[in-house]
């Protein structure tokens, strides 16, 4: 029986990727004299992905990859004006309020009334993720807030053993099949996938289906209590 529900944070509880998307648009504009939009987008993704093992996830890592892309695609021509625009955008991202997605607050209330224990498992910069949690005013609802460097099956297994949770007592909710859903299914837990309009290409997995891979898909956060009831009867 499910006792614990864990939530991804970015683009599950609050908006996030749209600020990264704005950064991509800015970078394409800065590099317009050198390369077309598609090349900028593809190079940024490739540089971000190759930097992940070094810098991890989050805004600071994104910023370093933006700068590296700008230098590479302009053959070293970009100057302090362009670099400064990138830094300003990073500061803008870091100062955004945590904008809750529709239905989050009401749904969390319902889940608490049903006696579920709640936690958050998120990647990203520790300081930024803590800032957003404080801003979101959701802190009081969660018993645990885990900021991890990656979300692999062993990451989840480690968290479950730390809190003394069996896999079949654990359900993870998130917008990334790669990070939030498939690793949890792999260790024997439940996954509820809520797609978001913007999902970083790195987090997308092709060729999966809820039917074949054993997760549940809903369109909005509000459907969560309903789908949990359905899982309980399986
Ligand atoms: Mg997410």
Report the separation in Å between the CA atom of 12 and the middle of ligand 1, taken as the mean of its atom positions.
6
Report the separation in Å between the CA atom of 26 and the middle of ligand 1, taken as the mean of its atom positions.
22
Report the separation in Å between the CA atom of 75 and the middle of ligand 1, taken as the mean of its atom positions.
34
Report the separation in Å between the CA atom of 61 and the middle of ligand 1, taken as the mean of its atom positions.
16
CA distance 200 to 28: 17
Report the separation in Å between the CA atom of 33 and the middle of ligand 1, taken as the mean of its atom positions.
33
Domains and CATH numbers, the chain: 4-15+99-232 (3.40.50.1000), 17-94 (1.10.150.240)
CA distance 46 to 142: 35
Report the separation in Å between the CA atom of 179 and the middle of ligand 1, taken as the mean of its atom positions.
8
How many residues comprise the chain?
234
CA distance 183 to 18: 25
DSSP alpha helices (H): ranges in the chain? 17-30, 37-55, 59-73, 80-94, 104-113, 126-136, 153-162, 182-186, 210-213, 224-232
CA distance 178 to 15: 19
The per-residue DSSP string of 104-136 comes to HHHHHHHHHHTT-EEEEEE-S-HHHHHHHHHHH
CA distance 114 to 225: 9
Report the separation in Å between the CA atom of 15 and the middle of ligand 1, taken as the mean of its atom positions.
9
Report the separation in Å between the CA atom of 36 and the middle of ligand 1, taken as the mean of its atom positions.
29
* Helix, coil or strand: residue 100: strand
- Among the listed residues 149, 82, 93, the one whose alpha carbon sits nearest the alpha carbon of residue 121: 149
pLDDT digits (tens, 9 = 90+) for 171-196: 999 999 999 999 999 999 999 999 99
Report the separation in Å between the CA atom of 134 and the middle of ligand 1, taken as the mean of its atom positions.
18
Report the separation in Å between the CA atom of 164 and the middle of ligand 1, taken as the mean of its atom positions.
25
Other CB atoms within a 10 A radius of the CB of residue 171 amount to 22
Strand partners, 100: 14
pTM score: 0.91
CA distance 122 to 208: 22
* Ranges of the chain whose pLDDT falls below 50: none
Contact status, residue 170 vs residue 184, Cβ threshold 8 Å: yes
pLDDT digits (tens, 9 = 90+) for 129-168: 999 999 999 999 999 999 999 999 999 999 999 999 999 9
CA distance 109 to 222: 11
Report the separation in Å between the CA atom of 70 and the middle of ligand 1, taken as the mean of its atom positions.
26
For position 233, what pLDDT does the model report?
A: 83
Token pair belonging to 119: 């936690």
For position 88, what pLDDT does the model report?
A: 98
CA distance 84 to 204: 31
């Amino acid at each position: 029986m499910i006792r614990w529900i864990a939530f991804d944070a970015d683009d599950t509880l609050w908006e996030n990727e749209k600020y990264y998307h704005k950064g991509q648009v800015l970078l394409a504009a800065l590099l317009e004299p050198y390369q077309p939009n598609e090349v900028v987008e593809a190079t940024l993704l490739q540089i971000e992905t190759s930097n992940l093992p070094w810098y991890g996830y989050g805004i600071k890592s994104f910023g370093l990859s933006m700068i590296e892309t700008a230098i590479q695609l302009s053959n070293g021509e970009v100057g302090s004006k362009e670099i400064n625009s990138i830094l300003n955008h990073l500061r803008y991202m870091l100062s955004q309020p945590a904008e809750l997605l529709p239905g989050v607050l009401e749904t969390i209330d319902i889940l608490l009334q049903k006696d579920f224990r709640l936690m958050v498992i998120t990647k990203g910069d520790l300081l930024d993720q803590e800032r957003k949690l404080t801003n979101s005013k959701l802190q009081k609802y969660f018993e645990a807030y885990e900021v991890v460097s990656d979300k692999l099956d062993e990451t989840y297994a480690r968290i479950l053993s730390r809190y003394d949770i069996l896999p079949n007592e654990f359900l993870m909710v998130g917008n990334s099949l790669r990070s939030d859903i498939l690793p949890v299914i792999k260790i024997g837990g439940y996954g509820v996938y809520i797609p978001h309009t913007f999902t970083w290409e790195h987090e997308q997995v092709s060729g999966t289906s809820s039917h074949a891979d054993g997760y549940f898909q809903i369109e909005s956060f509000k459907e969560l209590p309903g789908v949990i009831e359905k899982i309980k009867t399986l």
